[in-house]
Structure 1
């Protein structure tokens, strides 16, 4: 009787079952047909306690399978690892120009995520312990001396509008099919996830309503067209339902 075949060891990707910063990694893995073991954290159907087990105490976390196994907790490091392992993948930049432009766009969207999407997520979920709330008071009834941020949502709206308009201007000026040239890169996936989160996730409904019929991406046709183009890719479209289901 022959022994049962040994299942191949796969990298472990630990993330919450929500749309968030890790969604770009889900899409990159799908586009590059790279298999991982998706591990759910405690409280979400799994046993992984990220506050204790994750290297940075945050998610996503990614455990590689090399002999000198690495544990990566930064999104950019995880993306770099996937690109290194799949150099011929469709979202891996193939030229120096594409590599530099993709990193430039990715960093811009990362800044947008850190200063708009992440604070909006914490506002929607009422995460009072979030670092950006420390020293702030979002209650407009507070006295002026303590109301450091009585209109925080208005500040977020202003930041969102400024940043997406800058991104629109940059994309329109490039005149290329994708952000870093004629071919898809991982930066386009991040742009798509960020735009689609604002357009579709339920928790952003009140934010969308503040813009009226024109919506939160008024005056950004190039940005919307890019997100739509990425969303039509077969492997991206297969995961698109998450945005309609997730609050954030």
Structure 2
């Protein structure tokens, strides 16, 4: 492929793997270059209950950007009405955006409690068009089809079919993190006690295999001194 350069990449549309979704279900497409802060701002604005913002007394509509879409709110009434949250939202990610989509899902599940999750793993088709570097060389353009892993995650306030694969029931994440923190603290405490024992064992190495060697060396020196003492006594006699 040294004689070609990539001209463009075309993503083939992938059908939604969740049948029966309502037409007003929001879809968040997560890409490699997407910012999690912007994605979460858009998702939370759809899933959380927030009062409609009032803009002045003229009743002018206020535009609000979220993710890749722009929503224009209705003209405010005399009283602030609460915006009804969405019942379902879908996160999609492809290629390098899969891990970022999972991160967004976990953050939303901790911000909005009681969400049921349904996950689908599949492949998405991407067409890469390669053009020759020198058109006069007589080379034709090439189209390469690639299958890239993708993920679809459905979060719903309403219960989903628990018998389907990929279902996750809403859980208490606070208790989960508290248990993990206790386990980490226990492991860290065990390492500290183990380190103290290791240091204590190192101090008692003289009692181990290395101890008798030093003691025998020391015992030999007095032996020599004793033999010399006997020779001196013999000379005096």
Is TM > 0.5 for Structure 1 vs Structure 2?
A: no
Instruction: Tell me which structure has the larger Cα radius of gyration.
Output: 2
Report the TM-score, using the length of structure 1 for normalisation.
0.23
Report the TM-score, using the length of structure 2 for normalisation.
0.23
Higher strand share: 2
Higher helix share: 1
